[in-house]
Amino acid sequence: MSDEDRRRELGSNDAPVEAEIEESFDRIVVEGAQRLHRTWPSVLITGFFGGVEVGLGVMAYLAVLHTTGNKLLAGLAFGIGFIALLLAKSELFTEGFLVPIAAVVAREARVGQLVKLWTGTLAANLVGGWCFMWLVMRAFPEWAPTVTESARHFAEAPPNLQSLCLAALGGSTITLMTRMQQGTESVPAKIVAAVAGGFLLSGLPLFHSVLDSLLIFGALHVGAPFGYGQWFGWFVYTAVFNVLGGLLLVTALRLLRSKELLSERRSGSS
C-alpha cells in the first residue's frame, strides 16, 4: 500500500489532502469568488470602510506610542485595527493576495475581476485612510511629533535591499494572517491571528503600503517635512514588494500544497 493510499485510509475524507486542508481550501475559493463578483460600488465602499476601520488600529498605535514610546506595545495595540476589519467584514488591498487568487486559479473568477478588486480596494483604502487620519490629527494635535517621527521612518526610507525585504515580509505576513484566519471557523482564533499580525507589522515595524500610508497621511496633515511626492515614491515600491512577498512566500506555496484540489475544481468548472 502506498503512503497516499494509507493516508486516505486513515483520514476522514477521500480527497488527496487532509480533511482540514480540503475544508479550508473550499472556504477560501468560495469566499474569493464572492469577493471577485462584487460590483464596483461594493468594492469601493468595502475598501473605503477598510481604510477607515484599520485607522482605528493606527489611532491606537499612536496613542500607546505617544504615551510609552514603546513600539512593541504600540504594535500590540494596533491589532485593534485588524480585529475591526475582521468583525466588520471590511477589506484591505493586501488581504487580496491569497483568497481571490485561489478563486481565479480554481477558475471560479476571471483575472479582470481580480484587477478590479485590487485597484478599487487599494484606491478606496487610501481615500478612507486619508479622511480618517485628518479626523485623528484634528482630534489629537498633541500626537503631531509622534506621528511625524513614525512616518519619516517610511517616507524617507531609500529603496535599498533592507526596505525591499521589509516590504516583502510585510506582504507575506498579512497574507499568512489571512491564511490563518481562513484555516479556522473559531472567532477567538481569528482574533488571535489578527493581533499577532498587527504586532508583527506595526511593532517591528515591517513596510505595509496601506497601513504605513495612514501614518504618513497623518504626518502630512500636521505639516510633515516631506510631501506627497516622497510618499508616492515609497508607496510604489512598497506595494510592489508587498504583492511579491504575499504571492511568492505564501500564496504560491499554499496553492502548490492544494494542487490536486485545484485540478478537481478546474475539471468541475470546465
Q: Is residue 126 part of a domain?
A: yes
Any domain includes 5 = no
Residue 256: pLDDT over 70: yes
Containing domain of residue 130, as a range? 16-269
pLDDT-based confidence at residue 6 (cuts at 50, 70, 90) = very low
CATH of the domain at 191: 1.20.1080.10
> Does the residue 223 lie in any domain?
yes
How far apart CA 194 and CA 203 sit, in angstroms, is: 13
Band the pLDDT of 10: cuts 50, 70, 90.
Answer: very low
Residue 149 resides in a domain: yes
- Domain assignment of residue 6, yes or no: no
pLDDT of residue 86: 94
The dihedrals phi and psi of 225, each to the nearest 5 degrees, come to: -80, 20
3 occurs within a structural domain: no
pLDDT in tens, 230-246: 999 999 999 999 999 99
Distance CA 37, CA 162 (A): 37
pLDDT computed for residue 270 by the predictor: 54
Asked whether 221 and 58 are in contact (CB, 8 A), the reply is no
Q: Is residue 11 situated within a structural domain?
A: no
- Domain total for the chain? 1
pTM of the model: 0.90
Q: Residue 74 class from Cβ within 10 Å (0-12 exposed, 13-18 middle, 19+ buried)?
A: buried
Determine how many CB atoms are found less than 10 A away from the CB of residue 21.
Answer: 17
Task: Determine the Cα–Cα distance for residues 26 and 167; give it in Å rounded to an integer.
Answer: 29
